Structure 1
Amino acid sequence: MPPFLIVALGALGAAALAKVIAAETRRINGALDRHRASEAGDMKAVPLERDPVTGDYRPRQS
């Protein structure tokens, strides 16, 4: 088989793979965005305060 055909088939395969990966990425990001939007409505803003001993931020104890 001539080398240019092998290169052309490789380029077509790479383009097809890139298209499939891009579509899958868009699908997953859409699902994540929908999940985050539904989760954001359920959560309330919780004030954080810094723990002086560890330096970590934790929810404020009311």
Structure 2
Amino acid sequence: MPPLVIAALGVLGAAALVKLLASESRRVNEALARRRAAEAAPPEPVTRLERDPQSGAYRPRAD
């Protein structure tokens, strides 16, 4: 094979590899962004409990 053909095949292979790596990188970054957005959601508010002296049960405090 002439050296030019071998060099062209090498360039085509490298271009295909770069395209594959770029698409995989985008896919992983999108998955990470979705996970970070889900984790960044505000946590549920904490409800304080107080004991009812008559029944002994714990109920949410009426603040």
TM-score range (shorter-chain normalised) is 0.5 to 0.7
More helix by share: 1
Aligned-pair identity (%): 59
Q: Distance in 2 between matches of 1:15 and 1:42?
A: 43
Aligned position for 1:26:
26
Normalising by structure 1, we get a TM-score of 0.67
1:43: Cα distance to partner?
Answer: 4.9
RMSD: 1.5
Give 1:42 deviation, angstroms. Answer: 4.3
- With structure 2 as the length reference, what TM-score do the two structures score? 0.66
Name structure 2 gaps, 5 residues minimum.
Answer: 45-63
Aligned to 2:10: 10
Matches within 5 A, 1:17-56: 17-43=17-43
Runs of 4+ in 1 over 3 A off after TM superposition: none
The structure having more radius of gyration, on CA atoms, is 2
Deviation of residue 24 (structure 1)?
0.0
* Distance (whole Å) between structure 2 residues aligned to residue 12 and residue 5 of structure 1: 10
CA distance in 2, matches of 1:17, 1:23: 10
